[in-house]
Amino acid sequence: MQGILNILKAPGMTSHDMVAAIRRKFGVKRVGHGGTLDPPAAGILVLMLGKATRLSEYVTEMDKTYRGEITFGVRTDTQDATGSILTSHPVELTAYGVEEAFAHFTGRIEQVPPMVSAVKQGGKRLYQLARRGETIRRPSRPVTIKRLELIEFSPGEEGYPRALFECHCSKGTYIRTLAADIGEHLACGAHLSFLLRTAVGPFEIDDSWLWEEIKDCSHLSQCLLPLTSVLGKLPRVIIKPRAVESVSHGNRLYPAGIEDMCPPLAPDQIVRLEQPAGNLIALARWVEGTSNWYFHPYKVFQEL
């Protein structure tokens, strides 16, 4: 069994919990996810089953979209609502002030990964060190905030304003850190009090499956999307039916084995070889020789 599963993770579960549940329920050995979602957060988790795990780099590179809430005036040691309060004091803040701060954090910015993240440093996950009460220096990383929009602003109770926002960002963005950094920029402190991931690349929350729905499926294949669903940006080459077996063995594909393609292609261009359209046979590189050209398969997905 192989394919892509767009699942809606409930708050309280880890991403690994979701992977383990699929393995146990359906007996699928190879299951991976395309980007961790923190346990307190809910939202889309893109799972790859079977040979689809070989496409993980395409999923992890996808942009993410979040709907979240920032609570101002309260700093926590985890930068979200699950942590211990470090400081707390009422603040005066306006929607205009928040929007100005959002504009400051839109575009290419630097982030320091939180201590509760899964980033490895010195051979250890940061969250493992945090559980032991350790805090170490972490180098900042560039991320891109492509859109940061204020949806709703509330003065809050007892002087602790809240801002509901939507964020479209590059891979590797820590939304909890974004919330905390915005609070520091406004000199009042803040933490992320709610988070929902609404999209991962082309995968949207309206099209996701609940775990309860998946458990009731007679066969998991009913819920799976084709491998090509994560490869929309790659050029498609339709190969002739008689070339499928050869390509599946990793052999070169010459012009005689091609049914349809869209030239021109750049040197070393990665393409998806399909037969029929929508059924991924392999990923291949375009190789242009002195007297001829061909495609060299380097990842084969067709199960013979």
Please state, in angstroms and rounded to a whole number, the distance separating the CA atoms of residues 282 and 272: 6
Could you give the number of structural domains in the chain?
Answer: 3
Active site members: 38
Both 94 and 160 in one domain: the answer is yes
Average pLDDT, consecutive stretches of 10 residues, N- to C-terminus, the chain (304 residues): 94 92 91 90 96 95 97 96 95 97 98 74 64 72 97 92 98 96 98 98 96 88 94 94 96 94 86 95 89 90 80
Predicted pLDDT at 239: 97
Residue 83 maps to which CATH number? 3.30.2350.10
Both 193 and 89 in one domain: the answer is yes
Both 184 and 239 in one domain: the answer is no
Alpha-carbon separation of residue 155 from 76, 90, 159, 190 (angstroms): 20, 10, 7, 14
Both 68 and 178 in one domain: the answer is yes
Burial of 175 (0-12, 13-18, 19+ CB in 10 A): buried
Predicted pLDDT at 118: 65
pLDDT tens for each residue of 214-229: 988 878 889 999 999 9
Both 185 and 219 in one domain: the answer is no
Predicted pLDDT at 126: 63
Containing domain of residue 20, as a range?
Answer: 3-62+202-228
Residue 281 maps to which CATH number? 2.30.130.10
pLDDT tens for each residue of 202-255: 999 999 999 999 988 878 889 999 999 999 889 999 999 999 999 999 999 999
Both 142 and 71 in one domain: the answer is yes
